[in-house]
Amino acid sequence: MLDVAAFAPFLARAVAEDVGAGDVTATTLVPADVRTVADLVAKADGVLAGLPLFLPTVRVLDPDAQVEPRAADGDRVVPGQVLATVRARARALLSTERTALNVLRRLSGIATLTARFVAAVAGLPVGVYDTRKTTPLWRDLEKYAVRCGGGRNHRLRLDDGAMLKENHLLAAYGTTGPAAIRDAVARLRAAVPAGLPVCVEVEDQAELEAVAGAGADVVMLDGFSLEALRRAVGWVRAQPPPRPALEATGTITLASVRAVAETGVDRVSVGALTHSAPALDLSLRHRPHDG
C-alpha cells in the first residue's frame, strides 16, 4: 500500500516548484469561480502506478477537488482508456496538472518496465529485483512502482541489511581476496540484527566458493557470463545446506534476462527498472463547458 499522507509535503513542494509566484496564464484567463471536469487518459500500453497521488496534488491548490478513479495501481492500461475523472476549480487544476502528470507518468513508467521484465521470465522460479539506483528523495515512490509492476524490492535503505561489495573490502582490508571476504562476512553475520539479510557481491567462482559457506543469505554474481552462472548454480546446489540464494546482477536487459534466469539463479537485479524507465504517456483532457 502507498502511504499517501506521508507524501503530502513532497507534493506541496513539487507544486510550489512549478507554480512559482503564480500561474500567469490561468489567473489571467480563467475566472476564480469556474470549475472544470477532466479525464485522465492513457495514451500508451502500460501498467499504472501512483494514481492515489493525483488527488492530493490537485488539492494543494483546491482542497475541495475530487477524483473518481476508474483504474487502480497495478492495472494494465491501454491507449484511450480513461483512468480517472477529476472535478476541481479550473485554475487549480490547470496549475497542478503538470506536476500530477509528471509524478504519475514517472511511476507508471517504472511499473511498466518492471512488468516487461517480469513477463520475460514468466514460468521460471526467479524473482525480479530493483536496486538502490533510484532518484534522490523519490526512492519510496519508485520502489512502490516496482511492486506495482510485479517486481520485488532489494533493501530500501542501508539499514535494511548488509551488502558487502568490492569497495567495502578495499576500504576495510585493502584487498578483495577470499580471506578478506570470509572475515568480512563473519563479522557482518555476527553484528547484523536477526532477520536482516547479509548479501555479498562476488565477481568470479573463486570468490563465490570463499563466501558460500560463510553465512551469507544472498550471493550476488556480478557480471557473470551465462556459462559462469550455470557453473555457480551447479556448484552451490552441490553444497550441503544452508545454501545462499544466488542473484545475477550487472547490465541485465530485456533481451538477456530470460537466458540469465534459465541458468537457475534464484533472482535477478536490474538497476534499469528505476534509473532508465521511460515515462508512460498519459494526458489530462478537460471537458468543454459553458463558462
Phi/psi for 139 (5° steps) reads: -55, -50
- d(C-alpha 264, C-alpha 260), whole Å: 8
143 among known catalytic residues: no
Would you give the DSSP letter of residue 160?
A: G
* Residue 15, C-beta contacts closer than 8 angstroms, at least 6 positions apart: 57, 60, 61, 95, 96, 99
- d(C-alpha 203, C-alpha 201), whole Å: 7
Catalytic-role residue among 133, 139, 182, 258 = 133
98 among known catalytic residues: yes
Catalytic-role residue among 43, 70, 76, 165 = 165
Confirm if 207 and 178 have CB atoms less than 8 A apart: yes
165 among known catalytic residues: yes
A 10 A CB-CB count for 103 gives 21
Burial class (CB in 10 A: 0-12, 13-18, 19+), 212: buried
Catalytic-role residue among 62, 97, 142, 201 = 201
Evaluate the omega torsion of the peptide bond into residue 9 and state whether it is cis, within 30 degrees of 0.
no
Enumerate the H helices of the chain as residue ranges.
Answer: 8-19, 24-29, 54-58, 90-120, 139-148, 166-173, 178-191, 205-211, 226-237, 257-261, 272-275
Catalytic-role residue among 98, 152, 155, 189 = 98
- d(C-alpha 34, C-alpha 3), whole Å: 32
C-alpha pair distances (Å), 232 with each of 141, 199, 208, 219:
34, 16, 8, 10
Catalytic-role residue among 130, 222, 247, 266 = 222
Active site residue ranges: 98, 133, 165, 201, 222
